[in-house]
Amino acid sequence: MRPRSLYVPAAVSVALAALVWLVSAPARFLNYDTEYALLWGNDLVHGRTPDYTVAFAPTPHPLAQLVGALGSLFGTGFGETLFEVLAFLSLGILGWLVFALGRAWFGTAAGVVAAAIVLTREPILSYGIRAYVDLPYICLLLGALLIETRRRRAGTPVLALIAMAGLLRPEAWLFAGAYAVWLWRGGALRPVHVALVVGAPLLWALSDLAVTGDPLHSLSGTRSTAEDLGRITGLQRVPATLPRRLGEILREPVVLAAAVGGVLALWRLRARATLGAVAGLLAVGAFCVLAAAGLSILTRYLLLPATILAIFAGAGVAGWTQLPRDDPWRARWMALGALTVVGMLVFIPSQVTRLKNTRSALIAQTRILDELHDLVTANLSCGTTQVAVPNRRAVPQLALWLDIPPRDVVSAQELGRYPRRPSALAPVSRAVADQFVLDARDKDRALPAPPRSRLSVRGRYWNLYGACP
């Protein structure tokens, strides 16, 4: 791709990212998993071995840790800001890629509709603003799809992007293997392609081996955490769960538009629709593999198939523009597209309410985290070796900000009470706990009684006990 041809995509992506940032401001913070990636990256920079075995540690994602390590070279504050900027950029890039794929497959109007759908879905914006690795993962795979769309059997650039995605989520390994078979059948498979296919899983296993001595730690650890948290798992749960979760992401009218677009595009525009359909099936297949492996069935694991469905929803609305004017199905498709648009318009008020509620929740969580940061850095910077918190939610943040091991951030919920000796933090009210500390998916949503030690600082959201003298 010529450098000049990158100007427009880059400009549009930055503009979309800025728009999402302006609309959601001041919401911006790192989720639990990404904060751990920064914490472990910071450990690597300072010559410490990351602790993957701490209670309820998330799955270690090698590429996210690499970004965390690079950010930590300039300080942990810079590292957090770097992830926050990348979070919004990922949303902007996602919007551009969905538009570009929709335009390439089903025309400009379909691309515009698809991008508008994706950037107004509450789960996508929520996970994106909180800097989950799923959004960069999706961008890498959609980028690979776009390259393949423009040049069939492009080979190395496609597999390079898939390999990077495979260092964020293991589902990408299925895409890499399937694409390698496609290259092999066309006589285009090269040794470098094989290296890219095996590179991501091999690097992931070597990373786990170096840190824990177990090359399969990510699999066993994630499965164990899913069991401890009582998460939904198992292939037998997929048929009932998958449609419901896709509906939660896209909403019913968009799913209907995707069904219309999928059927009609595969019938009347098969050459254009085949690549997207295969990618969607692979994405669902990868999700099923995770479920069969005993991993959690989470909504964010379905963001990729939902995004592909959104592109087909764009086809459902405007794919008829790609049919010849004398095609008898052009007018019929137009009529079906108009019906799906009516359904989407009817859902706009409820969708706006969802987005407003999510924005309010994210802003509240941002302010709660900001106060937590200010409290601990101002009052616990005297060489604190241990601090107690209500549960595990704020462990990676405190470990990072105070430069202590995550094992030294004690969960009062797990102990059944706050210990007497260390410094401690407690939410000022149940409302604050419900907004940030607790999670709807927590197995135990009980809060331990407040500490008995001296109250040092009373904040708007947090009470700090046992601060530095």
Distance CA 171, CA 304 (A): 10
Region of poorest pLDDT, from 220-229, 285-294, 422-431, 432-441: 432-441
Percent of the chain past pLDDT 70, that is, above it, reads: 97
Is 60 exceeded by the pLDDT of residue 2? no
User: What one-letter code names the amino acid at 92?
Assistant: G
428-438: pLDDT as tens digits: 998 898 888 87
Q: Tens digits of per-residue pLDDT, 449-460?
A: 888 778 899 999
Angle 303-318/329-346 helices, nearest 10 degrees?
Answer: 120
Quote the mean pLDDT of the chain.
Answer: 93
- pLDDT at residue 208 in the model: 96
pLDDT value at residue 438? 72
pLDDT (average), residues 391-404: 93
pTM metric for this prediction: 0.95
Helix (H, G, I), strand (E, B) or coil at 116: helix
Question: Mean pLDDT across the stretch 401-415?
Answer: 90
At 442 the pLDDT is: 61
The predicted structure's pLDDT at residue 244: 94
Check: CB of residue 363 under 8 Å from CB of residue 27.
Answer: yes
Question: Average pLDDT, stretch 169-192?
Answer: 97
- Residues 438 and 445: beta-carbon distance below 8 Å: yes
Residue 413 pLDDT level (bands cut at 50, 70, 90): confident
Check pLDDT > 60 for residue 3: no
Closest CA to 255 of 361, 156, 117: 117
Measured CA to CA, the distance from residue 188 to residue 181 in angstroms comes to 10
Higher pLDDT, 448 or 306: 306
What does the alpha-carbon distance between residue 132 and residue 362 come to, in Å, rounded to a whole number?
14
Q: Tell me, what's the pLDDT at 441?
A: 59
Cβ atoms of residues 418 and 450 within 8 Å: yes
Query: What number of CA atoms fall less than 13 Å from residue 444's CA on the CB side?
Result: 13
Specify the pLDDT at position 386.
85
Q: Write out pLDDT tens, residues 39-77.
A: 999 999 999 999 999 988 999 999 999 999 999 999 999
Q: Looking at 111-115, 133-137, 216-220, which range is the least confident one? A: 216-220
382, 383, 469, 393: which is closest to 425 by C-alpha? Answer: 393
Which of the residue ranges 1-10, 163-172, 391-400 has the most confident prediction, judged by mean pLDDT?
Answer: 163-172
Instruction: Please indicate whether residue 347 or residue 444 has the higher confidence score (pLDDT).
Output: 347
Give pLDDT, residue 56: 87
CB contact set of 323 (below 8 Å; sequence gap of 6+): 268, 269, 329, 330, 333
pLDDT score at 226: 80
**Where along the chain do its domains lie?**
3-346, 352-465
Predicted pLDDT of residue 453: 79
Give the CA radius of gyration of the chain: 23
> What tokens does 96 get?
């551009």
Bridge-based pairing of strands 455-458 and 462-465 is antiparallel
Compute the C-alpha angle 283/34/75, nearest 5°: 145
Judged against a pLDDT cut of 90, whether residue 365 lies above it is answered with yes
pLDDT at 381 over 80: no
What is the H or E stretch that residue 424 is in?
strand 423-427
Q: Give CA–CA dist 66/377, Å, rounded.
A: 25
